[in-house]
Amino acid sequence: MKRIYTATGLLIFDGLLLGITRLVPGAADFYRQWVYPVFLNTIGRLAGLFPWSMAELIIYTLILICIFWTGRGIRRWVGKYPNCLEYWKNGIKNFILAAAVFLTLFSLTEGPNYYQSSFAEQTGMTEEEYSTEELVQVYQILTERVNALADKVGRDENGLMTVEKDAESQALAAMEKLGETYPQLAGYYPRPKQVLFSKFMSLMDITGIYTPFTVEANYNRDMVDYNKPFTMCHELSHLKGFMQEDEANFIAFLACEQADSVEFQYSGALLGLIYCGNELYARDQALYRSMAEQVSGQACADLQANNYYWDTYEGFVAQFSQKINDVYLRVNQQDEGITSYSRVVDLIVQHLL
């Protein structure tokens, strides 16, 4: 029964921690500033010692353990081994304890950060409405940036943008540089890591993920390269406690905008153009089409390659994953679900105008 008591104690602790940081004003901000960094600088640094994704390794290890345990249990049941029922009871208790441990890790390294004040609030930005004319201005600014940078980035034999081998180090440099302007983003960052079997991420329509159990930023290595710089910075922003997806996108946009790497500048400008273009399309399709004609052929080739890549993975798994992500975001204070990613447009417009 010790395992059940331990699991119960952990769950009570989790409930208290999440309840306090959600309901007590200022508690989540205090937690992010003074408590959460302890885990970033311990668990995050420990996982950062390894060149591969520790989160990915843990997932595969747990899957193998479950397969082995289940197979052994079925063998005992079919063979009518003695103490077969006890074997299953012990396994279930172990599962409950393990689930409680992982939930506690989530509560310590991610959960409370959903309830802190927003990046916009902390940096003095206010929520403002903007006109279609202002959106067109921003779209034009980003189009000019993309066109100017499209010629400067490295490209492969197919004319598609390529990232340099040290892109992960450049992501760290970009975030550290941004931290000089925004103290909330200053401090230690573990190196972002590509997922070895990224096709699983592609099947689930995932470009990157922050893993609270190892305090790691992981990204999809198989996707079209122009996505990678922006995605790495997006996931690294989560490691500073900014969990709202629109704000993580905005932080990534800022990091890429002021990065020394041309590839990062291009990635941020192109992703910003995509988000603003989607909003412009929703408001005025004809106007969007006329504006989109100004985007350079090289950038259009990158966009077409991206669309083709994700189209090959479109299906039930991707749709199911999107629904799970939507529910997860809504449960964690992001009422707009997966559409919250596109709210970055509000912040980009305010920033550029």
Q: Where are the domains of the chain?
A: 2-115, 119-352
Percent of the chain with pLDDT over 70: 91
Per-residue tokens: 306: 């991206």
CA distances from 41 to 52, 194, 235 (A): 18, 21, 17
Residue 201 has pLDDT above 70, yes or no: yes
Per-residue tokens: 16: 């208290």
- 31-56: average pLDDT: 95
pLDDT at 324: 57
- 177-195: average pLDDT: 96
pLDDT digits (tens, 9 = 90+) for 253-269: 999 999 999 999 999 99
Residue 215 has pLDDT above 60, yes or no: yes
pLDDT digits (tens, 9 = 90+) for 92-110: 888 999 999 999 999 999 9
Q: Biggest alpha carbon distance in the chain?
A: 76
- 324-342: average pLDDT: 51
- 117-143: average pLDDT: 91
Angle at 167 between CA 161 and CA 173, to 5 degrees: 130
- 325-349: average pLDDT: 62
pLDDT at 340: 44
pLDDT at 341: 47
CA gap 30, 176 in Å, rounded = 22
pLDDT-derived band at 76 (thresholds 50, 70, 90) equals confident
pLDDT digits (tens, 9 = 90+) for 273-330: 999 999 999 899 999 999 999 999 999 999 999 999 998 887 655 555 555 555 545 5
Q: For the chain, what's the residue count?
A: 353
Question: What is the rounded radius of gyration, in angstroms, for the C-alpha atoms of the chain?
Answer: 22
pLDDT-derived band at 180 (thresholds 50, 70, 90) equals very high
* CB 217, CB 231: distance < 8 Å: no
- 224-242: average pLDDT: 97
Sheet with 193-195: list strands edge to edge. 193-195, 216-220, 208-211
CA gap 293, 307 in Å, rounded = 17
Collapse the DSSP code of 296 into the 3-class scheme (helix H, G, I; strand E, B; otherwise coil) and give the result. coil
If one compares 29 and 339, the residue with the highest pLDDT of the two is 29
Closest to 211 measured CA to CA, from 88, 26, 54: 54
- The contacts of residue 62 (CB under 8 Å, 6+ apart) are none
pTM of the model: 0.91
pLDDT at 59: 93
